[in-house]
Amino acid sequence: MKLTKIEYKILYLMERVGLSSLEKIKGFVDISEEETKKTVIKLESLGLAKRSEFRGDNFYGFTATPKGNKLLKSKEYEEWFMEFGD
């Protein structure tokens, strides 16, 4: 599985910021709200992110999974990892 730079950045933000709402994520990336939502759902379907905070039937945040955290630190993405702050 090869992530795009935007997918990687969103996953990185989830890991660094912790619990991230779609609104918080959208504030860090230069894509539409709909694209942000689609990207987060894709990361979730790949097992790289998960919904975390539920209130009733609604969810309010996402976090990176252990699988997502491992992918963030892989050699394949080392350049992006360094670019985004580490």
pLDDT in tens, 19-48: 777 888 888 888 888 898 899 999 999 999
Using the predicted structure, report yes or no on whether residue 54 has a pLDDT greater than 70.
Answer: no
* Architecture of the structural domain at 5-78: Orthogonal Bundle (1.10)
Which residues, including other chains, have CB under 8 Å from residue 64's CB and lie 6 or more apart?
A: 11, 14, 15, 48, 49, 72
| The pLDDT value given to residue 65 | 93
Please state the pTM of the whole predicted model.
0.86
pLDDT in tens, 60-75: 688 899 999 999 989 9
